[in-house]
Structures are given as structure tokens and as C-alpha cells.
Structure 1
Amino acid sequence: MTVVTAAAEPRPTIADHTTLLPGDEPVRILGTDQASTIDSGLVRGLYRQLVLGRRFNRQVTALTKQGRLAVYPSTTGQEACQVGAAAVLGPQDWLFPTYRDTLSVVLRGVDPVETLTLLRGDWHTGYDSRVHRVAPLCTPLATHCPHAVGLAHAARLRGDDVVTLALVGDGATSEGDFHEALNFAAVYQSPTVFFVQNNRYAISVPLSKQTAAPSLAHKGIGYGIPGVLVDGNDVLAVHTVLTEAMERARAGGGPTLVEALTYRIDAHTNADDATRYRTDDEVAFWQERDPVTLLERHLRETGMLDSDTERRARDAAEEMAADLRTRLGVDATPDPMDLFRHVYAEQTPQLREQQTRLAAELAAESELAGGGQ
């Protein structure tokens, strides 16, 4: 009897597996000699976006309290992550955001009102994903990660120069979809960057109850993906680390897992009471490490921030906030026929039948209401 054994598939060899591990300390640039080597125009541009981002968060939070949005997950305190993520994308790249990443979506070029449409409770996504190369805001945790990998893999098979950037929170790293996406990306060397914004809490669950790993970036080695730990409140460090990861993916180096250490200053959403699970002292500790303040301090110390530059940045932010107040102050007028649009490229017979039936019912109601006046 002859026993036929399958030849073992070749496995990639890693000369030194420690190259996949993050450093003992997060990457920092502010306060180091490296800060002086970064282009001043880029630094000022990041500052303007940080100022706009902080104003965006405050304005949308206020509008939510006024009932103009159904819910708003703020990124106050995380603006360096949001700004850095949007800034590293090329026009051909794709952003895969979560429900908390509205600021990154806006900075990607999507109209702020369209960005917030989903959170208002209006129809569908609110923007054309293909036009902006921004996937829909993802409310279920981590389900967009396999999509990001799949799109990047498909683009590479077609020969397209595309890198996908998947944004997730620390809570999403506890979901199966996240790990499946990492494995898929590593096996197929997908040009995808996973950017974890570790803001310490998945709603009320602290990181210590989610993982015993030294860091979330350490999880990459289990899949053969390099992990990088970065100070998420240092916008220069975030921009530098993500730029390197995007360039590595674009050059065929495969995926990277980046973890940014940051903090959610506001509650999880306007429906959350954060005082039930964290202390005022903890919040105050992180407020001293505010990303906007950190960059402003650097700009002043280096003479790159004068009163005119600061005024222009804040004026632009106020103009954006005023536009939001005006446009979000108008109640949306939903069209019932939107229930049937954009569901299929070609409507099914059942959908056409339902649309015809609803249109007839609405017409009858309108005629009845008109006759009663």
C-alpha cells in the first residue's frame, strides 16, 4: 500500500520575528529633535485641521443636545488620530470608518451634513462612497475590516494603486471580524493599514477587561503583521507612523497594525453617562495631554504660530460651525419612495410591486386629505 502525502506548502520565513513587535514605548515626535525636521507647511496644515476638528466636535455635540441629531459619538481628545488618518490618504485610496470617525470622513472631503446624515436618522449612508472613496460609517464593530481587506486585495489583483485604511476602536479588537481581517490581510499580503484608536474604553468596558496583551499592537505578530505603537495625541507622530505604513503597503510590503494611545474626553455618545465608570481625575489627567494644546505649544515654541495664523484657523472653524448650524437646523423631508431606491441595480418584481402599492396608498391618502378640506 502506497501512502501519498501532500507536499508541505512553503511558509514565509522571518529572520527575526521581533521585527513584528512594537517598541516598548509609543512613537513620539513632539518634544523631540525629530519635530524640527518636519515640513513647517505640513505642521501648520495639521494644526488648522485640529482646530477645525475640535470646533466640529463641539458644534455637533451642541446640535445633538438640541435634537438635530439622533446620536453623536464625539472624538474630542482623539482629533490627532482623526486628522492624521485623513491626511495620509491619497486620492486613489479608500477610508473605512466607524461611526465615531465622522471627523476623518469630513477631512477626507465629504460634506459635513452628508457625513452626519446617518447619525440624524435619515436614509442610507448620506454620501456616495464611490465618489469619495469612503465606505459607509460602520456601526457594528469591526464588520468593515474584512471589507477593507477585500477591496484592497481586489484592487491589487487588478493592478490598481490602492491602499485601504481601516479605522477601529479598542473595543473592535475583541470582535471576530477584526481577527479574520488581520489573518486574511496577512495571508494575501493585502495593502491594508489597520488603525486602532485605543481610547481606553469600549463604551464602559476598560481595556484591562478586553485583553491581557501588553498592547493591542502586539496582536499583529500572531498573524505575521508588524505592529506599531504610537502616541495618539501627538499628531506629528500619528501622521509619520501612518505615512510609513501606507507607503509600506503601497510598495507591496503588506498590512500593518497601528495602535494609537489616546483618550475619549467626552462620553461614549450623548446617551452615555461616563461618570459611572471613570473618575474626574482620570479625565483631567488626559485633558493635560490634549492634542490641540500639545501642537499649539510646539508651534509657539518654534515661532510657527503667530496671532494671525491662529486667528485664520479659528475663523475657518467658526465658519464651518455656522454652516453646520444653518444646514442642520432645517428639518429633512423624507421621500417614502427612497425605501425602494438604491436597493438593487435593477429592482426585483417584488420590490416594484411594493413600490406601486405604496404609491397608490399615498395617492389615496392625499386625495382623501384634499377632499376633506
Structure 2
Amino acid sequence: MHNIIDHHSQVLNFPGGEVKFTSNLNFIPETTEERVHCYRVLDDDGYPINNDFTQIEKEVALKIYTDMVTLQTMDTIFYEAQRQGRISFYVTTLGEEAINIASAAALKTDDFIFPQYREPGVLLWRGFTIQEFAHQLFGNKNDYGKGRQMPIHYGSNKHNYITVSSPVATQLPQAVGAAYALKMDAKNACTIVYFGDGGSSTGDFHAALNFAGVLDAPVIFFCRNNGFAISTPVTDQFRSDGVVTKGQGYGIRSIRVDGNDALAVFTAVQEARKIAVSEHKPVLVEALTYRAGHHSTSDDSTKYRPATEIEWWRTARDPISRFKKWIEREGWLNSEAESELRSNIRKQVLQAIQVAEKVEKPPIKDVFTDVYDVPPANLQKQETFIRETIKRNPQDYPTDVPL
């Protein structure tokens, strides 16, 4: 008589942990029947679905709203300035204002921000002024980057906001390394790194998640999944259910949130920060949203998506309008205050442009500084060459750049 062995009860301690055996031939399915649910607090009309969210005070709510309106106004006017040829390039955050402002509101000032290029609202929340934004866009001598970065590549040591760089997703492993350093120094802080759905298609994304998962780095991975990596839709990027499902593969707690719901974003990021800081664990947040503007001033998104679809998201799904309905019902805002707010912000942005436009550019010498303590011979030679060239051909160079 043969002995029957219950393989289901057998366990072997393989590298990485104990694994049970089974005699059933089962592959993990490539998809699930139902997509991962999306956490939201406010419905489309601004009514709370329930009370399961972080309660915020009037002052915080009004600052969230004010900064979202400010961000929207900046985008409108700076975009127009680029079209007028006054600045060379611009990127808007239209439709993603809640992602910017509400996530920033849930963080602490000691937390380090690793942005992509669509998170100026985080910097705005931390106190970066409209005038400082304008100086950077015009690349004048008051630009902290000394005119050496593209417009919208903001950075601020004061606000722990790491300077934006163009390569996609390089900020992810950097944020994990910084988070691990915070952990080693026993700091009561975390890092947060922002990226788009396109960023999750890079090798840096996978390296960063694995790095963070293995070393328990206190980092929040914040993906704003707006459906397109410039013109490439998510259906051409991955077969998985968005980005949120990728977290589990690296042992990282993950959540999907409505990126057009400021209260949902605020609550989710606040809880994610608690996990990151108190447990020293990474967290992945996927915010589902839609880019209601073009990718940049170099893009015409109507070439790859319907104009009617863009307009629907811009109006029916506007995160500012939804949040406004909620604070109005709370009795914290009325139409008169709203009108005055928008008028004042518009005046501030227009004034900032006028000021920044008149400030002279950084001097030629700044092109060659801040890399080496003592400039090497080849850089000294290049500086001499450019100065001599400008003197010989002054008509070919701008007059507002000091020699």
C-alpha cells in the first residue's frame, strides 16, 4: 500500500523564506477580473462620500485652494508668455493641481522633494514666490540656477526641493538613496519622488523600487498616471493594471487614489508618510488623473487624443472646481472672495513677469563656474575664446548679458 503524502503541508525554507508545495499546476494570472479600486473622498459634485478621511482645518483648506488657483493662473499666463516669445519653454500642470498642492500639504518641511517637471505646486506650497518662479523662467541673474537650466527646472535648497532635470525617472533611485541616508542618520523625515506613468517604463523605476523594498528606505513613490507619456498611451506602455500593481512585486505597500480629489490625495499621502517615517518603509501611490494641457509648449496633444476628451476633463473633472464646491458648503469661501482672489493672483503674476523681464542676465563667467574649485585649462581657454568672439561680433549676442 502506497503512503499518500500531503504536499500542501510540506514547507521548505528556500532562499528568501519558507515556501509551501502544491501538486496543482497553477500559473499566477496575468490580469485580474477587476482593476484595483481607486480611493476617493469627494464625488464629482464635491460631496464627501463618507467621513473616512483626514479632517483639515479651514486655514489649510483655504491655502490648498488658493495655491491651486495660483498654480492654474501661473500656467495660463506663463504659457501665454511663451507663445508671445518672451520665454523659451513652459510646462503646465492643468488638471493636476490637486496632485501638486494636496500632496505637498500632507508633507513636512524636512521631507525632501525629488520632482519630475510637473510639480511646481509643491514648491509653491513651501513658499517659493511667484517672483522667484518668474526669475527662473526668464533665466536672469536672480535665477538660482544662474540661467543654466531650462525654464521650469526649478530648484531650492531652502525648501528641500531638488532641482528638476530632464532625463526621465533618474530622480527615482536618487530619492531612494537620499531616503536611506535619512534612515541611517535617524532623521524624522522621508523623501517623496514624483514621476509619470512613462517613468514606470524605465529601468530606473524598477531599480529604485527594488532598492527601496530591500533596504526599507523611507520613500514615497508618487506616480501621477495621466494616461500618456507625452503621446504614448498607457495601453502601449504596459499590460499590467496601471502602476499600483507593480509595488507588490517589490514588497512595497501601494494605493491607488483619485488624483483629481484633493482630499483623497491629502489623506493618502499623509498616511503614506506615517508609514515611511514611523516604520521606515517605502510606499507607492498611484494617482489616476488626466493631463488637461499639452505635454509642453513643444507639443500639440490634439494630434494623439480628441479635443473633446481634453475639454471634458478640463471642465467636468476639474480638481479645483470639485474642491471649491466642498469648501463653499463648509462656509469657508464665497463668490466675492473667489473673484477677488483670482484678480489679485493674476495681477501678481503679470507684475512678476514685468519685473523678471527687465532684470539683466547672469554674467558670462557664470557659464564656467560652480563645477571645479579651480577651472581647468580647457575651460579657461573656452572662456577666453567666447569673450573674444563676443567682442568681435557683438551684433550676434544679446546686449543684456554682462561680460
Bin of the TM-score, shorter chain as denominator length: 0.7 to 0.9
CA 360–49 in structure 1, closer or farther in 2 if over 3 Å, else same: closer
Q: TM-score, normalization: structure 2?
A: 0.79
Is the alpha carbon distance of 1:217 and 1:25 closer, same or farther for their aligned partners in structure 2, counting shifts above 3 Å? same
Measured in 1, the distance between the counterparts of 2:61 and 2:252 equals: 30
What is aligned with 1:28? 40
Question: 8 Å contact 1:26–1:231 — kept in the other structure?
Answer: yes
Confirm or deny that 1:188 pairs with 2:215: yes
Q: Answer with 253-262 or 31-40: which moved more.
A: 31-40
Q: 1:57 to 1:364 in 2, by over 3 A?
A: closer
The question of 1:92 aligning with 2:120 is answered: no
**Amino acid across the alignment from 1:313:** L
For the residue of structure 2 that corresponds to 1:98, the secondary structure is coil
Q: Is the 8 A contact 2:260 2:319 kept in 1?
A: yes
Query: Which deviations, in whole Å up to 9, do the C-alpha atoms of 1:121-179 show, x marking residues without a partner?
Result: 63148766433211111211100111111111112112222211101111111111111
Equivalent residue number for residue 155 of structure 1: 182
Residue-by-residue CA offset, 1:335-362 (whole Å, 9 max, x unaligned): 1111221113x22433664377358737
Correspondence 1:301-320 to 2 at 5 A: 301-320=329-348
Q: Which residue identity is paired with 1:163?
A: C
Contact 2:368 2:383 in 1 (8 A): no
Equivalent in 120, 139, 146 of residue 102 of structure 1: 120
Question: TM-score under structure 1 normalisation?
Answer: 0.85
Aligned to 2:148: 123
Distance 2:268 2:125 in 1: 19
Residue 60 of structure 1 pairs with residue 68 of structure 2 = no
Seen in structure 2, the aligned counterparts of structure 1 residues 82 and 127 have a Cα distance that, compared at 3 Å, is closer
* Separation (CA, whole Å) in 1 of partners of 2:73 and 2:256: 28
Please say which of residues 270-279 and 311-320 is displaced more in the overlay: 311-320
**How is 1:47-86 mapped onto 2 (pairs within 5 angstroms)?**
47-86=65-104
**Structure 1 residue 267: Cα displacement:** 1.0
The residue that corresponds to 1:370 in the other structure is none
Tell me the secondary structure at the aligned position of residue 248 of structure 1: helix
Cα–Cα, structure 1 residues 333 and 38, in superposed 2: closer, same or farther, change >3 Å? closer
Equivalents in 2 of 1:332, 1:244: separation in Å? Answer: 45
The structure 2 residue matched to 1:343, chosen from 371, 388, 401, is: 371
1:204 aligns with 2:204: no
Q: Equivalents in 2 of 1:8, 1:36: separation in Å?
A: 42
1:243 aligns with 2:243: no
CA distance in 2, matches of 1:337, 1:79: 38
Instruction: Quickly say closer, same or farther: Cα 1:189–1:23, change in 2 above 3 A.
Output: farther
| Equivalent residue number for residue 17 of structure 1 | none
Larger Rg: 2
Closer, same or farther in 2 for the Cα pair 1:291/1:336, shift >3 Å?
same
How many pairs were matched up? 353
| Aligned residues: CA RMSD | 3.0
Are the structure 2 counterparts of residues 349 and 217 from structure 1 closer, same or farther at C-alpha, using a change threshold of 3 Å? same
Contact 1:99 1:138 in 2 (8 A): yes
> Residue type of the partner of 2:345?
A
The residue type paired with residue 92 of structure 1 is D
**Conserved 8 A contact 1:23-1:229:** no
C-alpha distance in structure 1 between counterparts of 2:56 and 2:154, whole Å: 34
Q: Do 2:67 and 2:121's aligned partners in 1 also have CA atoms closer than 8 Å?
A: no
2:292 pairs, out of 237, 255, 265, with 265
Q: Residue type of the partner of 2:118?
A: R
Alignment partner, residue 282 of structure 1: 309
1:221 pairs with one of 248, 257, 268: 248
The CA deviation at 1:12 is 10
Distance, in Å, in 1 between the alignment partners of 2:82 and 2:115 is: 20
The 8 Å contact of residues 71 and 120 in structure 1, kept in 2 or not, is answered as no
Aligned-pair identity in percent equals 32
Task: Report the secondary structure of 2:332's partner residue.
Answer: coil
Would the alpha carbon gap of residues 199 and 364 (structure 1) be closer, same or farther in structure 2, given more than 3 Å must change?
closer
Which residue matches 1:18? none
